Amino acid sequence: MTSDGGIKIPSRLPLLLSHEGVLLPGSTVRFSVDSPRNMQLVSQRLLRGTSLKSTIIGVIPNTRDPEHDTDDLPTLHKIGTAGIAVQVVGSNWPKPHYSLLITGLCRFRVSSLLKERPFVLAEVEQLDKLDQYTTPATEGAAAEDEELGELSKKFYQAAVQLLGMLDMSVPVVAKFRRLLDSLPRETLPDVVASMIRTSNKEKLQVLDAVSLEERFKKALPMLTKQIEGLKLLQKTRKMNPDNEKRVLSVRKGGVFPGRQFNLDGEDEEEDGDDAVALEKKVHGANMPDAALRVCLKELKRLKKMPQSMPEYALTRNYLDLMVELPWSKSTKDCLDIRAARTLLDNDHYAMDKLKRRVLEYLAVRQLKTSLKGPILCFVGPPGVGKTSVGRSIARTLGREFHRIALGGVCDQSDIRGHRRTYVGSMPGRIINGLKTVGVNNPVFLLDEVDKLGKSLQGDPAAALLEVLDPEQNHSFTDHYLNVAFDLSQVLFIATANTTATIPPALLDRMEVLQVPGYTQEERVEIAHRHLIPNQLEQHGLTPQQLHIPQETTQDIISRYTREAGVRSLERKIGAICRAVAVKVAEGHRVTKTEDLIPESPTQQGGKTLKNLQKEMQSMLASMLCFYVIILSWFKMNNWQCKYQLPTCNGLQHQCTH
């Protein structure tokens, strides 16, 4: 197979009749083989052969319908391409067939047919020399002829222009651009014609062009046609910038088979304005230098990234979040202490300790404007108004308010967010809250901080240590942002029912303010100031239709509510309003206040004082045995104990042992 003229193909070649496409020298094409002759060629020649010579076959374009290929041998095309089968894959679905990956080597002419069965075998004449494809461009035949050299130069410039209109970030485009400078000029027509989207008829014309000059003349119009098509597409995009961005694909009329590319012109026209607007937002967000550098770096990556990449949407969402965060936007505090005291007194009765602490904060802010936000923790029984007083504090200061419910949270990612390497990652609830309120100095209410959970996903209470530490939260780092955000201006208020379940490290970072339960007099005042007017409004009643005197309110509190807060009292008042609403809806005219109160309090789900006294007496009877056991244990250990039994039937017992 070797000679002084270079490598030569065998003079006898088995022929593969191709219905799918045209194989050109220098290109690699995959063929699907299912006709009887081609199946026999693969099974008897390619699969049984053991030498390199046995893998070289001839590929002849077959223009006849493949369904009629089983009878007579069609008229063969005189020019074909010798190729080497680099891969053979067999399959039985949906019917038996082979898939061949063939790389074209050179042209040949069919001299005569040697046999037609079981596969076609022909005597061939080699038209191209294989050593041409390793000859440098300066030594090719194009340098010897001036006209041929001019054609070669024009073709090279057109190929460079075509690649310049495509996205160079796509690997196959960048690879072909590098190969364009290293390939010999005489190989360019075959290689380029095999890669651009053209019909089989046009490729067949290039295959039939035996002389190099004719080959350039056939392939150059095809290349020019592709360039004009891309220019027209870019011009259409400029005239219609609102159209959806499209990509080129050979299967839908694109340039390179089986690939997708974005046009640079489309990037400039459609993505350019969007990228410029996003860059302006980044510079206008007044973010710190560290965050600005990260955003500019991500923006640079975004400009080079096709929209079809999954990472494009992730990067865009990240940049949108960064520009929406309130890095330097804040509200001005209302520091009028008298107005603040009036507002707090109107919203809440009692709670003198909490009100005094808020007024102290306002007073210090008047003296020092750069004061860090305090970390407060309201601890008290349910229903005493811990959450509502936090909202009133925000109104008093003139700040935005955001509530974060922490009850049952058992994943630290809820606080610090997910890293962007995870699918579906998102920032934590702290950063999301700042994005929602739009300022960097809101009032954050961390509700039910004593009911935080713990799981394999981490400890959210430990994640709160950085958030609620004034010495650390000025550089709080969310996992999603991966840059520091200043939380020192945020006023954090936590609420809890008990401090027993709060970790000591977290409790040490907060200023605990105990919120005791209300006395009976305070509950009466709260009922007439807030609860009764609210319930009347909710049930569509007027003060003329229902008036509850203070004596009745005291009776409801003492006989039907046993709580530190006022939630049960509010429910009892609501039950009375519903009973009155039924009478009003039925058209009854009620003139006496006593008639507006239900006759039987037990009908509203309450227990009378007599029932409670009976329960206490039965409870004391069962407790006496417990006291005897405890006293025996104390006596055995020589301990003294002074105890007092609860009052029972007017008797009070006090003993010392």
Look at residues 483, 514, 545 and tell me which one is the last residue of a structural domain.
514
Look at residues 324, 345, 363 and tell me which one is the last residue of a structural domain.
324
Q: Does 501 share its domain with 574?
A: no
**Residue 193 counted as domain residue:** yes
Residue written as tokens 């090719």?
Answer: 140
Distance CA 312, CA 305 (A): 6
Residues 6 or more apart whose CB falls under 8 angstroms from that of 584 comprise 541, 545, 590
CATH number of the domain residue 576 falls in: 1.10.8.60
Q: Does 74 share its domain with 216?
A: no
CB 197 within 8 A of CB 226: yes
Q: Does 363 share its domain with 491?
A: yes
The total of structural domains in the chain comes to 6
Residues 6 or more apart whose CB falls under 8 angstroms from that of 40 comprise 118, 119
CATH number of the domain residue 100 falls in: 2.30.130.40
Distance CA 106, CA 134 (A): 13
- The full length of the chain comes to 657
**Residue 169 counted as domain residue:** yes
Please report the sign of the dihedral spanned by the C-alpha atoms of residue 30, residue 32, residue 38, residue 41. positive
Q: Does 153 share its domain with 273?
A: no
Closest CA to 430 of 487, 392, 353, 506: 487
Closest CA to 436 of 480, 393, 389, 403: 403
Residues 6 or more apart whose CB falls under 8 angstroms from that of 324 comprise 435
DSSP string, 203-224: HHHHHH--SHHHHHHHHHHHHH
User: What b/e string do you get for 610-630 counting C-beta neighbours within 10 Å, with b at 16 or more?
Assistant: eeeeeeeeeeeeeeeeeeeee
Is the bond preceding residue 118 a cis peptide, omega within 30 degrees? yes
* Element at 124 (helix H, strand E): strand 120-126
Q: Does 355 share its domain with 440?
A: yes
**Residue 284 counted as domain residue:** yes
pLDDT value at position 532?
94
The SS3 call for residue 33 is strand
CB 330 within 8 A of CB 489: yes
**Residue 646 counted as domain residue:** yes
DSSP string, 289-341: HHHHHHHHHHHHHHHTS-TTSHHHHHHHHHHHHHHHS-SS--PPP---HHHHH
Residue 312 CB neighbour total at 10 angstroms? 15
Q: Does 422 share its domain with 317?
A: no
Q: C-alpha angle 28/32/34, rounded to 5°?
A: 150
Give me the residues of the chain with pLDDT under 70, please. 1-7, 63-72, 129-145, 168-169, 238-273, 589-657
Three-state SS annotation for 511-545? EEEECCCCCHHHHHHHHHHHHHHHHHHHCCCCCCC
pLDDT value at position 570?
93
DSSP strand pairing (56-61 vs 120-126): unpaired
pLDDT for 470-510, tens place per residue? 889 999 999 999 999 999 999 999 999 999 999 999 999 99
Distance CA 442, CA 151 (A): 72
Tell me the two tokens of residue 169.
Answer: 């970030």
Tell me the two tokens of residue 77.
Answer: 């095309």
The SS3 call for residue 108 is strand
Distance CA 224, CA 161 (A): 10
Please report the sign of the dihedral spanned by the C-alpha atoms of residue 346, residue 352, residue 357, residue 359. positive
For 359-480, list the strands marked E by DSSP. 375-379, 401-405, 443-447, 476-477
Q: What percent of the chain has pLDDT over 70?
A: 78
Q: Does 397 share its domain with 427?
A: yes
Burial of 574 (0-12, 13-18, 19+ CB in 10 A): middle
Closest CA to 132 of 120, 142, 121: 142
Tell me the two tokens of residue 279.
Answer: 């860059």
Q: Does 226 share its domain with 287?
A: no
Residues 6 or more apart whose CB falls under 8 angstroms from that of 61 comprise 18, 22, 77, 80, 200, 204, 207
User: What b/e string do you get for 56-70 counting C-beta neighbours within 10 Å, with b at 16 or more?
Assistant: bbbbbbbeeeeeebe
**Residue 397 counted as domain residue:** yes
Closest CA to 502 of 429, 453, 467, 565: 453
Burial of 518 (0-12, 13-18, 19+ CB in 10 A): buried
pLDDT value at position 591?
55
Closest CA to 190 of 173, 169, 175, 212: 212
Look at residues 491, 514, 537 and tell me which one is the last residue of a structural domain.
514
Q: Does 435 share its domain with 467?
A: yes
Q: Does 598 share its domain with 625?
A: no
Tell me the residue range of the domain where 602 lies: 520-607
**Residue 332 counted as domain residue:** no
Q: Does 560 share its domain with 443?
A: no
Distance CA 489, CA 372 (A): 6
CB 76 within 8 A of CB 18: no
Q: Does 356 share its domain with 502?
A: yes
Closest CA to 395 of 338, 334, 453: 334
Please report the sign of the dihedral spanned by the C-alpha atoms of residue 554, residue 379, residue 494, residue 348. positive
**Residue 331 counted as domain residue:** no
CATH number of the domain residue 451 falls in: 3.40.50.300
**Residue 329 counted as domain residue:** no
